[in-house]
Amino acid sequence: MKIRFSRYSVDEGGYALLTSLVFAGISIVILASTLSWTSGSSRVTERNNSYNRAVSAAEADVESVMARMNRDYLNRSFDKIYPNLDPYRLTVTTTYLPTGWPLDYEFADTNGVLDRTTVFGGSQTVATNIDPQLPGLYGITTPCQVASFAKRVGTPGYDVAAGVQEDFQLVAIPIFQFEAFYSLDLEINPGPQMKITGKVHGNADLYLAPQSGLEFVDAVETVGKIYYDRMTNDPAYGSTKVAPVFDLKGNSLIHNPLEGASSLILPIGTNNAPTEIVKILDHPPTGEDPLSPLGAERFYNKADLIITTFPSGLVTVNPGTWDPLDTTLPGDITNGVYSFITTTNFYDQRELKNVEVTEFNVTLFNKWLTNTTPNSGAALNTKKIKNLAKNLNSVYIEDLRSSPSFLTGVRVVNGTTLPPDGLTVATARPLYVKGNYNAPKPGSADTSNTKPASLIGDSITVLSDNWDDSKSGSKNNTFRPAIDDTVNAAFLAGIVQTTNVGGIKYYSGGLENFPRFLENWGGKTFTYNGSMVVMFPSRYATNWWVGPSSTTYYQAPNRNWAFDKNFLMLAKLPPCAPMVRKLIRGQWQTIAANFP
């Protein structure tokens, strides 16, 4: 038997063992590095998350301050605070959320002062193109900036601070910059071809169902929806219609028409329902602050003159709140009362009621303003010029006569030429305007020589210069033939809305019938340059619109209508023009935080 011996090499075994130990060491080093990297990465990720949460906390702080400023601006409280912005600088997130997540954070302003927010406000200016959706729209702007720092507390190593800053503008927008502005549903359903040359804004829904054609030259927007049909309560719902034309459609800078637009709010307080907005027409209640949100918007408080007709027939004229003496002015020497005020009556075939009116004669008012006899208006006009650098240019007329058997109203006559600084006539009652008004060029769209003007009331009815009170009672409109007429003024009034009563449907008449008519306008032209604003339903002139025919109360005119571009200049706005308000956001950015 042979025995074989193996030879074992000590060198080879040691090398293998050494190699294994080296690789094991490398693996341990790699593992340790991996664990260290993973831990560091986790810390970086968590710090990044902490930073993002701090950004959100700082943004919440900025938004809470902006929300308060916006609320106060819409309610006019901001006007009383500005330019002292300290109340906003003392506002932080915990002001509104004293429990919950805000307690996990410290908030500081950009100077590092805890529980403070940085707030800056610039000087008020007039700025154009304030809204990209509505090119050319201007407003009185107050530029603002809010900034805040936030840092999580109680988490050492993860207490990362962050800062947020936002620029924005608080903007007051004159409402007469729109050819049509409706707080209610806006319906535009004309029979003949119609062109809307100015901007259109609706705070509700928009219904467009023209029979022949409807063209929008400028931007159109609504807070609600746009329907290319009539309202379901319209008796003509589902009738033949054509598609409207939008000239700005396809413009890369805007979306026209626009649904879901921002609401434009009249700053009368926290409740902007139409039932509250209509109170801007009313006499203020006893004890109301004229500088309160609603008080500041009342035309009674804005007007230069207050004309009151009492049930006894007595008429008084008083200066407005601009003159704290509030004395009753004596009547003209010529007739012992007021030459420019009379009372009369006629029949309104739409309302089916006799109308007792206080009649305001603009031509005689112009003479009264320049008459230097002791009891005329020159002295008061001089006082207004001295105090406010303006001529008397606004009148509020209140007729206190009331009865279920008649309608109380106001009629403006002989208004072809207005006072030097224009004229606004406002009343809570139905308003009628007879003859050419503010019309140096009757029948023309040229308003270069017109005066700033507005007519404001429960409703607005246009009567031609051919109107005869003695023929107003006839049901046959052929006895009331109209002649061509021109009115250059902004209109602000109510409407009777489309509705269904007892199964009977009624159409509001739409924008095309917002100015009311009582004559046979067949073949005649009503030229209108201005702005049409509807913010509430009518409260007094509430009978339904009825389509024009030979058997109804009117025949429709040819409508030569256009937006008055004078209103695109602040200096040419009608006296006492209302302004809606909104917050327009600007640049948002994160900023380096600096905590003490």
Q: Which of 502, 521, 590, 511 is nearest to 545 (CA)?
A: 511
- 361-387 pLDDT, tens digit per residue, is 999 999 999 988 777 889 899 989 998
Q: Which amino acid is at 32?
A: A
The number of residues in the chain equals 596
The whole-number average pLDDT for the span 5-31 is 58
- 98-115 pLDDT, tens digit per residue, is 888 989 999 999 999 999
Partners of 318 in the β-ladder: 306
Q: Which two tokens stand for residue 233?
A: 């309560």
Q: Percent of the chain beyond pLDDT 90?
A: 71
The whole-number average pLDDT for the span 323-351 is 83
State residue 180's pLDDT score.
Answer: 98
Q: Is the predicted pLDDT of residue 32 greater than 60, yes or no? A: no
Mean pLDDT of the chain: 90
- Given pLDDT bands bounded at 50, 70 and 90, which one contains residue 29? low
The whole-number average pLDDT for the span 490-514 is 97
State residue 42's pLDDT score.
Answer: 66
Q: Are 338 and 315 in contact (CB under 8 A)?
A: yes
- Given pLDDT bands bounded at 50, 70 and 90, which one contains residue 40? low
58's enclosing H/E stretch is: helix 10-74
State residue 6's pLDDT score.
Answer: 47
Q: Is the predicted pLDDT of residue 5 greater than 50, yes or no? A: no
Q: Are 224 and 205 in contact (CB under 8 A)?
A: yes
- Given pLDDT bands bounded at 50, 70 and 90, which one contains residue 140? very high
- Given pLDDT bands bounded at 50, 70 and 90, which one contains residue 7? very low
Burial call 370-401: b when 16+ CB within 10 Å, e when fewer: ebeeeebbeebbeebeeeeebbbbbbbbbbeb
The whole-number average pLDDT for the span 305-310 is 95
Residue with tokens 């006082």: 383
Q: Is the predicted pLDDT of residue 13 greater than 60, yes or no? A: no
- Given pLDDT bands bounded at 50, 70 and 90, which one contains residue 18? low
The whole-number average pLDDT for the span 216-234 is 96
Sign (positive/negative) of CA torsion 464, 466, 467, 473? negative
- Given pLDDT bands bounded at 50, 70 and 90, which one contains residue 249? confident
SS3 sequence, 327-353?
Answer: CCECCCCCCCCCCCEEEEEEEECCCCE
Q: Is the predicted pLDDT of residue 1 greater than 60, yes or no? A: no
What is the distance between the alpha carbons of residues 167 and 594, in angstroms, rounded to a whole number? Answer: 20
What is the distance between the alpha carbons of residues 90 and 109, in angstroms, rounded to a whole number? Answer: 10
Q: Which of 146, 157, 149 is nearest to 47 (CA)?
A: 157
Q: Is the predicted pLDDT of residue 283 greater than 70, yes or no? A: yes
Task: Report the 10 Å Cβ neighbour count for 183.
Answer: 23
State residue 133's pLDDT score.
Answer: 81
Partners of 167 in the β-ladder: 145
The whole-number average pLDDT for the span 577-584 is 92
State residue 14's pLDDT score.
Answer: 61
- Output 306 or 15, whichever has higher pLDDT: 306
Residue with tokens 């807070």: 223
Q: Which amino acid is at 220?
A: V
Cα dihedral 485, 486, 489, 493, rounded to 10, equals 30
- 376-423 pLDDT, tens digit per residue, is 889 899 989 998 899 999 999 999 999 999 999 999 999 999 999 999
Q: Minimum mean pLDDT among 84-93, 245-254, 473-482: which range?
A: 245-254
State residue 26's pLDDT score.
Answer: 65
The whole-number average pLDDT for the span 326-346 is 81
Sign (positive/negative) of CA torsion 95, 101, 102, 103? positive
- 148-177 pLDDT, tens digit per residue, is 999 988 877 678 899 999 999 999 999 999
